Structure 1
Amino acid sequence: MTQEIYQKAIKFAGEKHKNQQVPGTNSNYLLHISNVAMEILMAYAAANTFDLDFAVQLAILHDTLEDTDTKLEELSEAFGDRVAKGVLALTKNEQLSTKQEQMMDSLNRINQLEKEVGMVKLADRITNLQEPPGHWTKDKMLAYRKEALMICEELFDKNEYLHRRLEQKIEDYQVYLK
């Protein structure tokens, strides 16, 4: 992986997410982004069988369309169509009425693209399966865990290391449901 690719993507994401915090914390959103990228780097260390430059760019940029004012054309111009299409697949279509429909639509679009896109979705959910925000109800936590199981099932063939990590994080999440 070239450091220049990482630095360009992290600078772009840092500027786009500059006023965003990790939900339920005072931490800047770059914490989440760097954790997703770290999961990708660890997957590459376990088995270097994918395009690391592509996957890291997707990891760093995965929430720019969903959470910021970034436009698809802007992403495409800065990082190319391949990255822009990957980020778009990782972005929920909020025109759909339920969260479950939004997630299944995104997973279907992810499954039509290269494995690196699915790997980022796995890494994203691994990173998000930490202690839930204090204001979450038990029903919200159960729904989030159920969604994680759906992600794990739908993207089982994208990367063995990340799939196993997500399975373990889902199991570990049980402690919050007691």
Structure 2
Amino acid sequence: MTQEIYQKAIKFAGEKHKDQKMPGSNSNYLLHISNVSMEILMAYAIEKNFDVDFAIQLAILHDTIEDTDTEFLELKETFGERVAQGVLALSKNENLPSKEEQMLDSLSRINQLEKEVGMIKLADRITNLQEPPYYWNNDKIERYRKEAELISKALSGKNDYLNKRLLGKIEEHKQYLK
């Protein structure tokens, strides 16, 4: 992995997410981005069978289309077609009527692309299965955990290390039911 690729992506994401906080906290959103990136780097330390430069760019940029004013064309011009398509697949289509349909659509688009895109979704959910925000009720916690099971199943062939990590986090997340 080259530091230049990382620096370009983190500077872009830092600007785009500059006013965004982690849900339920005062932490800057770059904490989430760095955690997703760390999961990818740990997976690469275990097995170097994927394009880490591509994966790290996706990890850093994965929420830019969904959560900021970033357009597909801007990502394409700045990082190339491959990265832009990956970030687009990782973004929910909010024109679909339900959260479930949005997730199924995103997983379908992810599965049409290279394994690195699926690895980001696995790493993202691993990172998101921390202690839930204080305002989540049991129904929300359980739905989120069930959605993680769907992600694990849909992306099971992308990376064994990340899928095992996700399955462990799914099991651990049961402790947050009140």
With the length of structure 2 as denominator, give the TM-score of the two structures: 0.99
Kindly provide the amino acid, as one letter, of the partner of residue 55 in structure 1: A
CA distance in 2, matches of 1:39, 1:89: 19
How far 1:36 moved relative to its partner? 0.2
List alignment gaps of at least 5 residues for structure 2.
none
- Runs of 4+ deviating beyond 6 Å: none
1:49 corresponding residue in structure 2: 49
How far 1:86 moved relative to its partner? 0.1
Kindly provide the amino acid, as one letter, of the partner of residue 59 in structure 2: A
How far 1:39 moved relative to its partner? 0.2
1:94 corresponding residue in structure 2: 94
Instruction: Encode CA deviations 1:28-74: one digit per residue, 9 max, x unaligned.
Output: 00000000000000000000000000000000000000000000000
Give yes or no for the alignment of 1:61 onto 2:74: no
List alignment gaps of at least 5 residues for structure 1.
none
Give yes or no for the alignment of 1:6 onto 2:6: yes
Kindly provide the amino acid, as one letter, of the partner of residue 65 in structure 1: I
CA distance in 2, matches of 1:144, 1:31: 20
CA distance in 2, matches of 1:172, 1:49: 28
How far 1:151 moved relative to its partner? 0.1
Kindly provide the amino acid, as one letter, of the partner of residue 176 in structure 2: Y
Kindly provide the amino acid, as one letter, of the partner of residue 66 in structure 2: E
CA distance in 2, matches of 1:150, 1:98: 15
2:175 corresponding residue in structure 1: 175
How far 1:177 moved relative to its partner? 1.4
Give yes or no for the alignment of 1:84 onto 2:106: no
CA distance in 1, matches of 2:61, 2:90: 10
CA distance in 2, matches of 1:125, 1:14: 21
Instruction: Encode CA deviations 1:105-125: one digit per residue, 9 max, x unaligned.
Output: 000000000000000000000
1:107 corresponding residue in structure 2: 107
Alignment RMSD, CA only? Answer: 0.4
Instruction: Encode CA deviations 1:56-112: one digit per residue, 9 max, x unaligned.
Output: 000000000000000000000000000000000000000001100000000000000
Kindly provide the amino acid, as one letter, of the partner of residue 133 in structure 2: P
Aligned length: 178
Kindly provide the amino acid, as one letter, of the partner of residue 37 in structure 1: S
2:34 corresponding residue in structure 1: 34
Q: Percent identity?
A: 72
Kindly provide the amino acid, as one letter, of the partner of residue 131 in structure 1: E
